[in-house]
Homo-oligomer: A and B are copies of this chain.
């Protein structure tokens, strides 16, 4: 296309949400005029499904659950007054609790106020809070946030070392929808131990966000945590940023959570009420479908040209991949759907892998995020009539152009700033696009049956470990190979796992397991608990 034709295409397809100063440009995805028309019946069906979902239908039939994250930012649309009151009441209680913490009406045992928060969570209970903390945080915030988002002892130790004596003024927020996630349970126990070691009472530094009557909820009640906030079964972990999961950590940091909700609401409104061509979420879903041929044939590379949006792609990895990466369609046919997401930020990533994007394998499409206002104060000129921000903007435009000329598709979102309204709007946009895309490709976007296999296998390995330890304790000082020990407990088939478990135990201090020989020789290395 000539530059003039591209300009026409750009203007014709530009989709804006004026209330958010938001624009979506799909002109650099190579669809022809018939594409939107041909997809319209399927999109209308997807929108009808979305309407049923919003009205409280069991949109996640496998788990017999409603899907209600949209109500969080538009409580008046919740299907019952009880749900509406629950949403509004929780928001009020979050604001009230954060206010009490900031005003030191709720205080730690031995310090005048809480200055730190430690969020313990993983997956949907960490990715949103991490994204928002990084996007909106600054050194003047009333509390600084750290995260336990794994079950890595070295990771716990590092965070605790950074907190140091400030643990005494740290509020730990444990977030687990089910209340039974092992990584989070472990993180909580490690945090509790750290408080204990400093002579502090964990419960007086703890709050919980979890499902009613969950294991965590009962523990928090029993031990007298400072506060408990609800998670509902109609909010999925990966769409929980505008529930207490996201809003409590954000409120503690002093972020304007009402603006996050307003941004989400404005995007939600925009994406509900007009024709497909004016619905940004619908267009986004259609572009994903077009670029990846409706089967995830291309990876989605997310490049916000803004340091504060660095973690958006990590947030999207879960939202998109866990929602869309499914073995079966809704009729039970094997489809192996999905849509891989990666990316960090521009222009930084230009210096990492735009070489491949421009020249190499054509297995991706880019989603650029342009942030118009790059700074609140005036900038120095780094060259005549050019600021650092002009370069940032120029690199985005230049890369968008170079990719187009190289035959690579891209989408560009433009937002005014990386503030709370924008954050809310971006989250709402992608939540909605994922839901619509799920309908287009006919998968249940609201369950995650595939994560069980790994968990079950892990449980099996921990059970094996217990039996190996028991066997070695019963025969202390008896040096045996992994094969011999596994056979002794009737698990000869599990010799490989046994070897790996033993190698790990032998490398862990205080476990009593010793290795003779070399880990590099799994058949002859011998293990024992010494006498």
Contacts and interface: CB of A to CB of B under 8 A. Distances in A.
B162 A373 contact: no
B361 A306 contact: no
Interface stretch (A39-47, A111-119, A318-326, A423-431): A318-326
Given A385-B469, A495-B7, A507-B373, A358 B14 contact: no
A123 B450 CA distance: 36
Interface stretch (A65-73, A227-235, A344-352): A344-352
Nearest to A364: B340
The winner among A363, A375, A462, A504 for most chain B CB atoms within 10 A is A504
A331 interface: no
A333 to B, nearest CB: 13
A376 B153 CA distance: 9
A399 interface: yes
Closest 9 A-B residue pairs measured CB to CB? A325-B356, A123-B351, A325-B360, A378-B510, A16-B520, A155-B307, A338-B360, A398-B458, A398-B457
Given A296-B363, A338-B356, A465 B398 contact: no
Nearest to A397: B461
Interface in A302-330: 305-308, 314, 317-318, 321-322, 324-327
B465 A385 contact: yes
A360 B321 contact: yes
Contact of A386 (B456, B466, B493): B466
A154 interface: yes
A519 B21 CA distance: 8
Instruction: Report, as a range, how many residues of chain A touch the other chain.
Output: 35 or more
A14 B453 CA distance: 26
A70 B7 CA distance: 49
Interface in A386-422: 386-395, 397-399, 401-403, 405-406, 414, 416, 418
Interface string A441-453: 0000000111101
A353 interface: yes
Interface in A435-477: 448-451, 453-462, 465-466, 469
A86 interface: no
Given A3-B493, A321-B353, A370-B500, 6 more contacts: A151-B388, A151-B389, A157-B375, A318-B352, A326-B356, A374-B504
A34 interface: no
Interface string A143-156: 00000011111111
B402 A453 contact: yes
Contact of A375 (B122, B349, B469, B509): B509
Nearest to A386: B462
Contacts of A190: 380, 382, 388
A392 B357 CA distance: 34
Interface string A225-244: 00000000000010000000
A182 interface: yes
Nearest to A156: B388
A104 to B, nearest CB: 23
B356 A340 contact: yes
B324 A372 contact: no
Given A386-B462, A462-B394, A355 B321 contact: yes
A16 B353 contact: no
Contacts of A347: 122, 150-151, 183
Contact of A352 (B2, B123, B339, B388): B123
Contacts of A360: 296, 321, 324-327, 336-338, 450
Given A158-B138, A507-B416, A398 B460 contact: yes
A161 interface: yes
A96 interface: no
A377 B194 CA distance: 13
A374 B322 contact: no
B157 A356 contact: no
Interface in A116-154: 122-124, 126-127, 138-140, 149-154
Given A6-B496, A325-B361, A398 B454 contact: yes
A305 B336 CA distance: 26
B296 A523 contact: no
Contacts of A358: 450-451, 453-454
Q: Which of A152, A295, A339 has the most CB of B within 10 A?
A: A152
A154 B308 contact: yes
A405 to B, nearest CB: 7
Contacts of A199: none
Nearest to A494: B3
Contacts of A218: none
A193 interface: yes
A185 interface: yes
26 contacts: A4-B492, A10-B496, A16-B521, A139-B162, A151-B391, A154-B307, A183-B347, A186-B388, A189-B380, A190-B380, A190-B388, A321-B353, A324-B356, A325-B356, A325-B359, A340-B342, A340-B363, A356-B450, A358-B453, A372-B519, A378-B510, A391-B458, A394-B459, A398-B456, A398-B457, A401-B497
